[in-house]
A and B are shown apart, each in its own frame.
Chain A
Amino acid sequence: MKGDRLLDVRGMLCPMPIVKLSKAIRDAASGEVIEMLADDEGAWQDVPAWAKKTGNEYLGSERADSYSRHFVRKT
């Protein structure tokens, strides 16, 4: 999977990944996909929970080497 916009929050801890994600979604156009790179393990739970809460579409997560990729589409 590949996103339209890349958001790198590696090295950041809770709550920064979702604070940055919310800013990225605000700047994105409707329908665009944000690809977030994170190494905080909490992101696996936090990104889908955040998407559900804010009404954006969670498309899935995948593991990369030492980090993970999370995909959210702005509705």
Chain B
Amino acid sequence: MANDKVSIIVFSGDLDKALAAFNIATGAAASGMDVTMFFTFWGINMLKKTGPRKGARTLLGRMFDLFMPKGPDKLPLSKMNMGGMGSVMMRYQMAKKKVQPLGEFISMAKELGVKIVACTMSMEVMEIPPEDLNHVDEFAGVAAFLEEASKSKITLFI
């Protein structure tokens, strides 16, 4: 019998929503399910590498790079962010309660076999080349998502 499948669209670039997405993804993978996560729009931010960028970009591309968070440690909260203070307090509280940071959740998901797909349309619009991203198994579009989702028992948009 084939494993049950779960497809999750990660649209949000907020720490709290990303944690929910990876909690479900790792829990499902640990329950023997095949999990695919599709990262689109602001969700792409958590996959970004830190550090300076190479390659030519337009002015808008440079602005996206400058003003968008780079990587899991830079995401804001969707509520109570308070100019970044809220996310610092949340990370402090998580560490105190021994919940691993988002970056470790992503690594754990990869170890458990969760497939990470990045949306090429979002990457093109925000001028993010593939070499700026970590963890990505596949670069794909909506047809690839629909193909996976139509075979999935659980489909989530976060």
Instruction: Specify the chain A residue showing the minimal Cβ separation from B97.
Output: A13
Tally of contacts, chain A with chain B, CB under 8 A: 32
B→A interface (CB under 8 Å):
23, 26-27, 30-33, 97-100, 108, 112
Docked-complex contact B30 and A15, CB < 8 angstroms: yes
29 A/B residue pairs, CB under 8 Å, sorted by A: A13-B97, A13-B98, A13-B99, A14-B23, A14-B27, A15-B23, A15-B26, A15-B30, A16-B100, A18-B27, A18-B30, A18-B31, A19-B26, A19-B27, A19-B30, A19-B108, A19-B112, A21-B30, A22-B30, A22-B31, A22-B32, A23-B30, A50-B30, A50-B31, A53-B31, A53-B32, A53-B33, A54-B31, A54-B32
Interface residues, chain A, CB within 8 Å of chain B? 11-16, 18-19, 21-23, 50, 53-54
